[in-house]
Amino acid sequence: MRFTIHQESRPGKRPSNQDRVAYCYSRDALLMVVADGMGGHLHGEIAAQIAVQYLTESFRSEAAPALADPFAFLENGLTRAHHAIYDWAAQRQLADHPRTTCVACVVQNSVAYWAHVGDSRLYLIRDGRVTAQTRDHTRVRLMVERGELDELMAANHPSRNKVYSCLGGSHAPQMDFSRKTPLHAGDVVVLCSDGLWGPLGSELLSRRLRRGNLLEETPRLLDEAEELGGATCDNLSVVAMAWHDDYDDVAGAISTLAMPLDAFTTEMEAFAELHGQPGDVSDEEIERAIRDITAAIRKYSK
Q: pLDDT below 70 — which residues of the chain? A: 150-153, 155-159, 211-212, 274-280, 302
pLDDT, tens digit, 9 for 90 and up, residues 115-163: 999 999 999 999 989 999 999 998 877 777 777 776 666 766 666 778 8
**Predicted local distance difference test score (pLDDT) of residue 82:** 97
pTM of the model: 0.94
Rg over CA atoms, the chain: 18
3-state percent helix, strand, coil for the chain, nearest multiple of 5:
35, 25, 35
**Predicted local distance difference test score (pLDDT) of residue 145:** 74
With a CB cutoff of 8 Å and minimum separation 6, the contacts of 211 are 217
**Predicted local distance difference test score (pLDDT) of residue 220:** 95
Domains of the chain, start order = 2-300 (3.60.40.10)
**Predicted local distance difference test score (pLDDT) of residue 153:** 67
